[in-house]
Amino acid sequence: MYKKLLLILFIAHSYFAYAQDVYEKPLNESLKNVLKIQKTKAKGFSFENFTMGIKGGVNFSLVIPTAGNSIFSGSNSAKDYNPFYQNLGYQMGFILRYSISRDIKISIQPSINEYSYRYSTEYSWTGSTNLSYLLEYKQNMRFFEIPLIVGYYFKAQKWQPYVQGGGYYAMLMNSNSYTDVTETLDNQVLNSSSTVNSNGIYKKNQYGLLAGAGIRYAAGRTMIGFEANYRFLLSPLSSTASRYGNNQVIGNYDIPDEVLFNNIALTINITVPLVCNEKKNGPYIFCSN
């Protein structure tokens, strides 16, 4: 009798244990994904928080003179600066961005930036003969820049707006001055043009601030963005030490003014994750999906 009772208890236990395995309700797909994310989410510093990409676009320089300088003491020697939309330049570079949180990201964006600005001036003398010079200048400057930018990214789905600000260091790579001269002596007109290297009149090391806003679109893992940034140069653009000592520039009848140099840049950027969400898939370019 005792053996029969043990056999019945064993059969009952096996039945209920098996039934529990068979009828256990499976996790739905969304919950599985949540648990997976929670399990694999990086804590603290992680390469999964990095994105990298490229950028490029155009810029427009806004030059505001604060003090004028001239090689001549003519009756009309003030420079007339062109509006910013006529001062076209370009920029292209690299982006490395790190997500501190879901909303705040910090990035370093080294780039090659070429700026240009235009102005003209006129000198005239009257007497037994009437002599005048109309000089039209275009200044080109190429800098290597390293901006450090902090951005706030608003919560969104496909389209995500953001605002950002930071500072930048710039190193002068090369600059040139292009001059068109119209010389009028009584009724005779003579036109000429020249190009000189103007590295000597600009400070080699520059620094400034920037601020801007943009919007980006999520195309799968790839983010495609458009942004506008305003740059304000804090350091003097030209070098006072060599202002009157650069013979090539003096030969072009030009001494640079003291100016505030600002710039508006319009940029398109493309970024991708540095690594996949799942480490086993390796670097982003080798992701399986």
Q: So what's the pLDDT on residue 258?
A: 86
> Apex CA 199: angle with CA 194 and CA 202, to 5°?
115
Q: So what's the pLDDT on residue 124?
A: 78
- Rounded Cα gap, residues 208 and 236, in angstroms: 10
Bridge-based pairing state of the strands 104-108 and 111-125: unpaired
Q: Name the percent of the chain lying above pLDDT 70.
A: 72
Distant-in-sequence, close-in-space partners of 2: CB < 8 Å, separation ≥ 6: none
- Rounded Cα gap, residues 197 and 247, in angstroms: 11
What is the average pLDDT value for the chain, to the nearest integer? 80
Bridge-based pairing state of the strands 258-273 and 222-233: antiparallel
User: Does some domain include residue 1?
Assistant: no
User: Does some domain include residue 190?
Assistant: yes
- Rounded Cα gap, residues 206 and 243, in angstroms: 17
**Sign of dihedral through CA atoms 79, 265, 86, 116?**
positive
Q: So what's the pLDDT on residue 183?
A: 86
Q: So what's the pLDDT on residue 126?
A: 77
Q: So what's the pLDDT on residue 38?
A: 41
Report the predicted TM-score, pTM, of the whole model to 2 decimal places.
Answer: 0.75
> Where is mean pLDDT largest: 74-78, 120-124, 172-176?
172-176
Predicted confidence band at 207 (pLDDT cuts at 50, 70, 90)? very high
Phi, psi torsion values for 175, nearest 5 degrees: -150, 150
User: Does some domain include residue 212?
Assistant: yes
Query: Mean pLDDT over residues 23-52, rounded?
Result: 56
CATH code for the domain of 127 = 2.40.160.20
Least confident among 10-24, 43-57, 146-160: 10-24
- Rounded Cα gap, residues 229 and 111, in angstroms: 14
Show the domain range for 244.
46-286
Total tally of structural domains belonging to the chain: 1
- The answer, yes or no, to whether residue 287 has pLDDT greater than 80, is no
User: Does some domain include residue 22?
Assistant: no
Q: So what's the pLDDT on residue 271?
A: 94
Q: So what's the pLDDT on residue 77?
A: 64
Neighbours of 2 (CB within 10 A): 6
Specify the residue for token string 């997500």: 99
Query: Mean pLDDT over residues 91-114, rounded?
Result: 96
- Rounded Cα gap, residues 32 and 41, in angstroms: 14
Least confident among 25-39, 184-198, 229-243: 25-39
Q: Which one-letter DSSP state was computed for residue 244?
A: T
Q: So what's the pLDDT on residue 40?
A: 46
User: Does some domain include residue 11?
Assistant: no
- The answer, yes or no, to whether residue 21 has pLDDT greater than 80, is no
Q: So what's the pLDDT on residue 41?
A: 45
Query: Mean pLDDT over residues 235-242, rounded?
Result: 78
- Rounded Cα gap, residues 116 and 61, in angstroms: 7
Q: Helix H segments across the chain?
A: 2-22, 29-40, 247-250
User: Does some domain include residue 248?
Assistant: yes
Q: Number of helices and strands (H, E) in the chain?
A: 3, 11
Q: So what's the pLDDT on residue 121?
A: 87
